[in-house]
Amino acid sequence: MAIVKMSKFSLFTFDSERDNLLHELQKFEYVHFINPEEDEILVEEGLDTVSIPKSIGEVNEEISQVKYALDLLSKYYERENGIKAMIKGKDNYTFEELEEKALEYDYVPVYTRLRELANKVNGYDQEASNLYTLKEELIHWRALDYPIKDLQAFEESKIFIGTVPVKLKDKLNEDLLELNYTHMESVNEDKDNMYLFALTSKDEADSLNEILRNNGFSNITLNGEGTPKEELNAIDERLKLLENEKSQVIDEIKELAQNVPSLEIYYEYLMNKKLRVTAAENFLTTEKVNVVRGYVPTDKADDFNELIKKTQADAYYLEIAEADKDDPDVPILLKNSKFAQAFESLTGMYALPKYNEVDPTPLLAPFYLAFFGMMVADAGYGVIMLIATIVALKVANLSESQEKFVRFFHYLSYSTLAWGLFFGSCLGGAIPIPGIMDPAAQYQDLLIISIVFGIIHLFFALGIQVYMKVRDGQYLDAFFDVGFWYMALSGGIVFLVSFVVPLAPVIAQIAKWVMIAGMVGIVLTSGRSVKSTPGKLVAGFYELYGISGYVGDFVSYSRLMALGLSGGFIASSINMIVGMLAGKGPVGILGGIVVFVVGQLFNIFLSLLGAYVHTIRLTYVEFFGKFYEGGGKAFNLFRNKAKYINIK
């Protein structure tokens, strides 16, 4: 399993057939278009890019309308929740079924009615907002027992209505003593303001106005006909009526919510339609002929050829040839076994391979499996993962990406279970089981095993580099760039081991000279691309200095031991707390059960997260760093990624 072989195509077809061609290509799905601006030869020949059709505006308008309806109706659509919803998952459709369902449905009456109802709701809300504002203005004047419409009807008197800060109350009362024909009363008062009603003669109106102004008076205009109390009662009655009318409209909107599944299907149809319309910009055109270039998987080239022949009625010209291995623009599509597919997300998070590289997914998967299990290393946790993933895979309706994610942890559960049995660990020792090795007591041996795994991992990575160079006919490069490193590292390891482990003197001597030969080879050949002799030596010594990086890489694998021990110690600590609580009677037993369940679940989460992250680190930094560059462009399937359904 590896990178899917690609074929590059050039298609000449009539402009009138473009829409039908794009529709059929979208059904075919496995087409990756080349940006026409990158095709300098055809551009220089005078071909123009096809402008996006005006119909894109209509499609965008339809998408906007359907999205509006979905956003509004989804608030009232009752979906299944919890485990039942997870099991049911999204509805499954083929592309043909999606189009058939969408074309049977007319969303316009629903959208039109929904707009009308939404406008009514907005009108109710706006009126209610205005009434609440008016209510806020009147609430302070409830005790004023005068009709509002009569307050300004006096001919020989003048009325002042407004607020004065409470802190100026005494000063205001003192200032008012000099007026003889003025009546003022405090209608209401809060912590900040007094709400004042003042009646004065026209002769004293100016004097009162000056006194009020000097005391921070703010004039207020009351709106209404009756007394403030009557107006407030009328507002409350109107608000109740508005709420009832709004409730009736919302009930009608809720009835329309049954259209949500159909709207979701139509939305997916429109998004694919939009993709087809915008795909026209990948075409170059003359007055009547369109030219489009792209890639299809080589194993689908015959099907692609037949599709073009069927849709274009022989009025076309098509060239298909295998893509150049060293072309950096060839899009990447991975094809792996069911086991390796579960690990493709790890490769994708780092970088897709270039077309002339190897797909690292099936190569990293076994090591990731082993390292992850060694870091979690608990049979109980492995069984929990195994049961949970089996149930999810058997019962739940999962999308393709969800299924890969669940299968990823399903495979990891076997490794976790196996390492847990090896170490004799089940829920941190809550269930005693015999093991081959006790990591807490034999931590030094576990450290050695971790370093050995690291050596195997790195040597395997170097071996992949050898394979790639031999595959490309670079035999000497394979020996110079990897062979000498094998000699230096393996000789050095054996030579150092001879100081702590009794080995035959001849083995130590052979290892020493193999190490020296490898180092000399690195110095003499690493700078072979440099022109000057001093430059070659400097480059060689600099490359040899990289051996210190290998030492750091080997030590980095000690995390295999560290995470395994930390998870085990946390689980054991939880069990110790549970044991202490269990001796405190029934309440202690109940508390111990809660602590055990919550604590173990929390430790599972920490262990899985830690193992996931640190195994990725070992893969990306130590493993990929020895042979993998990445940087490939993803193959863009001619199909919109569904949001609401699964398209099979």
Q: What's the per-residue H, E or C state across 413-425?
A: HHHHHHHHHHHCC
Asked which of 177, 198, 221 is the last residue of a domain, the reply is 221
Q: Looking at the domain assignment, is residue 73 inside a domain? A: no
| Bridge partners for 185 per DSSP | 197
**What number is the average pLDDT over the span 560-574?**
89
Confidence at residue 82, expressed as pLDDT on a 0 to 100 scale: 66
pLDDT in tens, 431-449: 899 989 998 889 899 999 9
The domain in which residue 194 lies consists of: 152-221
For residue 515, what is the enclosing H or E element? Answer: helix 505-525
pLDDT at 44 exceeding the cut of 80: no
pLDDT at 40 exceeding the cut of 70: no
Distance CA 253, CA 259 (A): 10
Q: Looking at the domain assignment, is residue 195 inside a domain? A: yes
| Residues 411, 361 contacting (CB under 8 angstroms) | no
DSSP state of 606: H
Q: Looking at the domain assignment, is residue 508 inside a domain? A: yes
Handedness of CA 396, 601, 568, 591 (dihedral sign): negative
**What number is the average pLDDT over the span 95-115?**
93
Reduced to 3 states, what is the DSSP secondary structure of residue 258?
Answer: helix
Q: Looking at the domain assignment, is residue 52 inside a domain? A: no
| Residues 4, 335 contacting (CB under 8 angstroms) | yes
Confidence at residue 396, expressed as pLDDT on a 0 to 100 scale: 87
| Residues 386, 345 contacting (CB under 8 angstroms) | no
pLDDT in tens, 353-377: 999 999 999 999 999 999 999 999 9
Q: Looking at the domain assignment, is residue 77 inside a domain? A: no
pLDDT in tens, 171-196: 888 888 888 888 888 888 888 899 99
**What number is the average pLDDT over the span 70-87?**
81
Residue 537 or residue 287, greater confidence: 537
Distance CA 51, CA 18 (A): 13
Confidence at residue 72, expressed as pLDDT on a 0 to 100 scale: 92
Confidence at residue 316, expressed as pLDDT on a 0 to 100 scale: 80
pLDDT in tens, 614-634: 999 999 999 999 999 999 999
For residue 163, what is the enclosing H or E element? Answer: strand 157-165
pLDDT band at 158 (very low <50, low <70, confident <90, very high): confident
Which backbone phi and psi does 162 adopt, to 5 degrees?
175, -165
**What number is the average pLDDT over the span 73-85?**
80
On whether both 386 and 534 belong to a single domain, the answer is yes
Split into its structural domains, the chain has a count of 2
pLDDT at 54 exceeding the cut of 90: no
Location of structure tokens 């992949």: 464
Which residue from 136, 217, 144 is spatially nearest to 185, judged by alpha carbons?
A: 144
Q: Looking at the domain assignment, is residue 97 inside a domain? A: no
Global pTM exceeds 0.75: yes
**What number is the average pLDDT over the span 542-567?**
87
Handedness of CA 379, 383, 384, 386 (dihedral sign): positive
| Residues 568, 440 contacting (CB under 8 angstroms) | yes
pLDDT at 339 exceeding the cut of 90: yes
Amino acid type, 514: V
pLDDT in tens, 493-525: 898 888 888 888 889 899 999 999 999 998 888
Confidence at residue 140, expressed as pLDDT on a 0 to 100 scale: 87
Mean pLDDT for the chain?
89
Q: Looking at the domain assignment, is residue 475 inside a domain? A: yes
Confidence at residue 41, expressed as pLDDT on a 0 to 100 scale: 59
pLDDT at 300 exceeding the cut of 90: yes
pLDDT at 486 exceeding the cut of 60: yes
Confidence at residue 314, expressed as pLDDT on a 0 to 100 scale: 66
Location of structure tokens 């202490």: 580
Lowest model confidence (mean pLDDT) among 37-46, 566-575, 629-638: 37-46
pLDDT at 46 exceeding the cut of 60: no
Q: Looking at the domain assignment, is residue 509 inside a domain? A: yes
Lowest model confidence (mean pLDDT) among 93-107, 152-166, 261-275: 152-166
pLDDT at 1 exceeding the cut of 90: no
Contacts with 526 (C-beta within 8 Å, 6 or more apart), sequence order: 480, 481, 539, 540, 542, 543, 544
Domain CATH for 170: 3.30.70.2750
Asked which of 194, 221, 248 is the last residue of a domain, the reply is 221
pLDDT band at 48 (very low <50, low <70, confident <90, very high): low
pLDDT at 610 exceeding the cut of 90: yes
Number of Cβ atoms within 10 Å of the Cβ of 627? 21
